[in-house]
Amino acid sequence: MSNSRIAAVDVGNDSLKGIYGKIESDLYIPNVIARDIEDRPVIGIEDLDTKDPLDGIHIRVHSPALKDNNAIYRVGNLATKSDNPMELDPGSAKSEEDQTLVMLFASLALDAVNEKNSANFKNQNGVVDANYTLGTGLPLREVKEGKDVGYRSRLLGSVHQVEFLVTPKYQGKKVNIKFDEVKVYPEGFAAYINLVMDNDLNIINKDLIDKRILIQDIGGLSTDIAVIKNRNVDDDKAQGFNIGVAESLEAIREEIRSKHGVELDSRRDVVDIITKKNDRNHIMVRGSRTSVHDITDRILFELAKKQYRHLRNVWQKNSQSEICYFVGGGSIVLKDYLKTLNNSLDGYNIDFFEDEKESIWMMSNAYYKLISDFNRKNAKDKPQDKREEKHKVKN
């Protein structure tokens, strides 16, 4: 039997962020998929193996957990170039969408076939048998509705197979994925863990540990506001809202198309325009550098007002809160607008992560800390269990 490898995977509405093993491997994949045919056309197929696999993820996924089983997909960067890219729709439940599982399975398969990780798994005739101990999460709203239980049960107890089709370096390889354990954490609680603890769950931020904190996690399709009190998430006070940045990104994309005649492939392209270091809020129109500041400012400022309204309402119900941390990819997009609103209105004590990478990877980092701690405790318990079994046999 192969060893169980730790995986901490945040299937965000914008992108998947995964950390594997002993933090020696990570993956970032745009959360975009597209249905495809088995023999997708490739120009210069003889050069396929010189390309980056992340730019050509083309797979067949077989799993009893999927509603649409045995389907073929382009995933990530390759899907964004397709005529029929699929991104998660506003109002959808992450725990119930095939797309969430396709992204999860694809990332684990990519980790399993990576030659650097070949010692971890049994590999026979191009088929890799990969066992994982998975830490992942769902929006607070879905956990409160009990959807984490069904999500976990769909993953456990079955073998999920990913077959690489026309994918650089991995064409023809198959990965059988089995989960030894799956832990599904509420995203708000995970953000808190990442704020106050290191990878060994030692407290690194003593100033925050006993404070009353709000954490507003702005994602692509939803927003969670976790209320932290006495070192725990207050389930009754925590709230989830079906509002993220996705609809606003789509609105920007559509207005750029209608006003400038420029087709952007996906929401990911809009995010790049808004957040890039140089020429922010500019696009190329017929070879000329053109500002879209008027479009992005108007639409994002309206979204920031809605997000600020949620903050105000939750803070009024939790008046003794001391600070609110804005996290998630959406907070990066809305940071300047939220700061402007706060300065001109209520002046709450709010904070953002200036390190954009830290904010984007916050959830997967937290899942890694939590699942690693679970794994350590589980490993300690096993020898004791064996000793007790031997003792029972002797008696």
Please write the tens of the pLDDT for every residue from 207-246.
778 889 999 988 888 888 989 887 777 878 878 888 889 8
Domain count of the fold of the chain: 2
* Per-residue tokens: 140: 């607070």
Torsion of CA 269, 339, 91, 238, to 10 degrees: 140
Same domain, 136 and 72: yes
In a domain? residue 203: no
Closest CA to 241 of 212, 221, 264: 221
User: Do 304 and 366 share a structural domain?
Assistant: no
Same-domain pairing of 367 and 242? no
Q: Give the span between the Cα atoms of 101 and 63, in whole angstroms.
A: 9
> Are 24 and 38 within one domain?
yes
DSSP strand E in the chain: where?
4-11, 15-20, 25-30, 33-35, 57-62, 71-75, 122-124, 127-138, 160-164, 174-186, 213-218, 223-229, 232-233, 239-241, 282-285, 288-291, 323-327, 350-352
Is position 191 within any domain?
no
Answer whether residue 393 is part of any domain.
no
pLDDT value at position 157? 85
Q: List, for residues 337-356, the tens digit of each pLDDT value.
A: 999 999 999 899 999 876 77
Do 166 and 274 reside in the same domain of the chain? no
Residue 190 lies in a domain: no
pLDDT at 137 over 60: yes
Do 174 and 217 lie in one domain? The reply is: no
Query: In this structure, is residue 234 part of a structural domain?
Result: yes
Residues 218 and 122 in one domain: no
Q: Is the pLDDT assigned to residue 304 strictly greater than 70?
A: yes
The pLDDT-based confidence of 2 (bands split at 50, 70, 90) is low
Whether 201 maps to a domain, the answer reads no
Task: Say if 390 falls within a structural domain.
Answer: no
Q: Are 180 and 67 in a shared domain?
A: yes
Instruction: Identify the weakest region by mean pLDDT among 87-101, 118-132, 192-206, 372-386.
Output: 372-386
Joined together, the tokens standing for residue 59 give 């797979």
Contact 234, 228 (CB under 8 A): yes
Question: What's the domain range around 157?
Answer: 4-185+362-384
Note whether 44 and 130 are same-domain residues: yes
Same domain, 171 and 271: no
**Distance (Å) of CA 40 to CA 71, 80, 87, 99, 106:** 14, 15, 21, 20, 18
Which tokens hold the place of 376? 């350590």
**How would residue 189 be classed by pLDDT, with cut points 50, 70 and 90?**
confident
The structure tokens 């899942």 sit at 367
- In this structure, the answer to whether residues 218 and 348 fall within a common structural domain is yes
CATH number of the domain that 265 lies in?
3.30.420.40
Percent of the chain with pLDDT over 70: 93
Residue 176 lies in a domain: yes
> How many Å apart are CA 99 and CA 220, to the nearest integer?
14
Long-range contacts of 46-52 (CB under 8 A, 24+ apart): 48/166, 48/168, 48/171, 49/168, 49/169, 49/171, 50/168, 51/168, 51/169, 52/168
Say if residue 128 is in the same domain as residue 161. yes
